[in-house]
Chains A and B, each alone.
Chain A
Amino acid sequence: MESATSKYRIGDAVLVAAENPTGNPRTPRYIRGKRGVISAVHGLLENVRDHRGIHKPLYTVRFDLSEVSSCDDQDSVWVDVHEEWLSSLPPEERNY
């Protein structure tokens, strides 16, 4: 069900949109325009307590800490991002 509705798969390199696309507003600023890797595919989620309707498929995207902040520790930040915010990153533009 998840793979049927979701465009990306675990391991895909993605770029987060820099500008706000229409749709879910909950993408924090610090990852906009940043490169990450799909680390979990959640698909279409219902969350009636939080919002009406169902948003685009959801992913957990892993970012190197150094990609999203000025700190270069070998740590990482994992953020949940909806599909309309993501685009595929060509292999030569990957950061890993």
Chain B
Amino acid sequence: MSGKHNHKAFEGHMHDFEAHIRAVEEDLEYYRAKRFEPRIIYLIRRGVVTFSDLLKARVALKRSNQFFKLKRPQGKNIEARVRYLEEWLDEYVKGIALVSARAVEAMDMVTEDNRKERGDYDDFFKIKKKEHHGTLEERMVNVEQDLKDYQELLEVFVQALIGRGWSTREQLQQRWQQLHEERPWAGGVIVAKAWTDPAFKQALLSTGREALREMGVHQGKVGKLVVVENTDKIHNVIVCTLCSCYPYDILGDTPWWYKHESYRTKIVQNPRACMREMFGLEVPAGQEIRVYDSTSDVRYFVLPQRPGGTEGMSEKELAKLVTVDSLIGAGYALDPRQQEEAEKLGATSEAPRVRPD
């Protein structure tokens, strides 16, 4: 799957089309209503961009100037169409990253501004998310139309920024290329090293980002990093009940359910029931569940337990066993047999989607 790390209990494997489309719908609305449109509104309030700028940019927009260029679906079957929508969503999210605070100087905007603007502290500001109904076919048609519409607004916004001189086409093109560079997923690399190198594990657990810096892992600086270790006695699980904080600068984006109200509410009310019902995990009675709510300047991830039957495996092989869910505590690292099965079903260990600031 393009741009996805695909061992997700909640989304299922590729043959579960319903789950894949649900993930696209949820993520698309999240990105529009929480990450993109609040930013436009913030800038419009401050006159950095105006409605007129957007209208003018729309009229002047030429196909040759567009950043988004998407290939056609590779076939008419449902699997090809689902993949196509997922790839399109990846492009949309990269487009939002293209115009994130880091890219455009005029956007003197920190995450806290965005949280206010999107209504994290006041329902009055919340932008309504679309609801999705109908058959799978109808939903696929709808989500394709939404992607078209949302992408057009994003494209127009990019052009308006250039039109106003807040950024240049060359700068944005360079960043657009960077956003499309493939990188190995750091999650697997870090955990595999911690499983095989006790000194590194100790450093990771006690110093967080510093240990990663020494290891040469690409990272930004989204808060202090704390890594919590799962053991026979303790099962850690991560949430952000206020929004969706996560060390995404290191690990990429979370699965959609991490940002969903149902998970964010239930995991702190009844963690055992949440683990059972949402992820099919039965945490043994003798194991304490510790829920970490990343409410402020600390970002957390879980160091999962090393699965049995992995003695003598190389770091590279071990890295494939590490799943996105296991770093949140919503799953375990795969054992070699599960990993083999997942691979047969078309799951890959590509990096998860980039998350814009």
B222 and A49 form a contact (CB under 8 A)? yes
Smallest beta-carbon distance A68→chain B, Å = 7
- Contact at A75–B221, with CB atoms within 8 Å? no
Q: Would A49 and B220 count as touching, CB distance under 8 A?
A: yes
Output the least CB separation between A51 and chain B (Å): 4
A55, B297: Cβ atoms closer than 8 Å: yes
Tell whether A78 pairs with B290 under 8 Å between CB atoms, given A49-B110, A51-B111.
Answer: yes
The CA of A35 and the CA of B89, in the complex, are separated in Å by 43
Question: Does A90 make an interface contact (CB < 8 A)?
Answer: no
* Given A26-B242, A68-B268, A75-B290, A49:B295 Cβ within 8 A: no
CA distance A25 to B112 in the complex (A): 10
- Of A24, A74, A75, A76, which one neighbours B296 at CB under 8 angstroms? A24
* CB of B288, distance to nearest CB on chain A (Å): 6
Q: Does B291 lie within 8 Å of A50, measured CB to CB?
A: no
**CB-CB under 8 A for A78 and B293, given A28-B242, A50-B112, A51-B112:** yes
From B270, B291, B296, A82 is in contact (CB under 8 Å) with B296
If A42-B298, A79-B293 touch, whether A71 touches B242 (CB-CB below 8 Å) is no
Count of inter-chain pairs, beta carbons less than 8 A: 100
Which of chain A's residues has its CB closest to B236's CB?
A78
A44–B178 alpha-carbon span in the complex (Å): 33
In the complex, A27→B291 CA distance in Å?
15
Report the bound CA distance from A70 to B121 in whole Å.
25
Give Cα distance in the complex from A8 to B271, angstroms: 28
Within 8 A of A (CB), among B246-289: 268-273, 288-289
A50 nearest in chain B by CB position? B111
Interface size class of B (residues with CB under 8 A): 20 to 34
Instruction: Digitize B124-167: 1 where CB-to-A-CB distance is under 8 Å, 0 elsewhere.
Output: 00000000000000000000000000000000000000000000
Q: Mark A17-48, 1 if CB is under 8 A from B, else 0.
A: 00000001111101000000000101001011
Taking CB atoms, residues of chain A closer than 8 Å to B289 are: 65, 73, 75-76
**Number of A interface residues, CB 8 Å?**
33
CB-CB under 8 A from B297, the residues of chain A are 42, 45, 47, 50, 55, 58, 80
B336 near A: Cβ within 8 Å? no
Q: How far is the CB of B284 from chain A (nearest CB, A)?
A: 12
Inside 8 A of B224's CB, which chain A residues have their CB? 42, 45, 47
Per-position binary interface string of chain B over residues 289-306, scored 1 when its CB falls under 8 Å from any chain A CB and 0 otherwise: 111111111100000000
11 sampled A-B residue pairs with Cβ under 8 A: A27-B295, A30-B241, A42-B224, A45-B223, A45-B296, A49-B221, A55-B296, A71-B270, A77-B291, A78-B291, A78-B293
The 6 closest A-B pairs by CB, nearest first: A75-B289, A51-B112, A45-B297, A80-B296, A47-B297, A50-B111
- A45-B297, A58-B298, A80-B298 provided; 16 other pairs, C-beta below 8 A? A26-B296, A28-B295, A47-B221, A47-B224, A48-B110, A48-B221, A50-B110, A51-B112, A65-B289, A71-B272, A75-B288, A77-B290, A77-B293, A78-B291, A80-B296, A82-B296
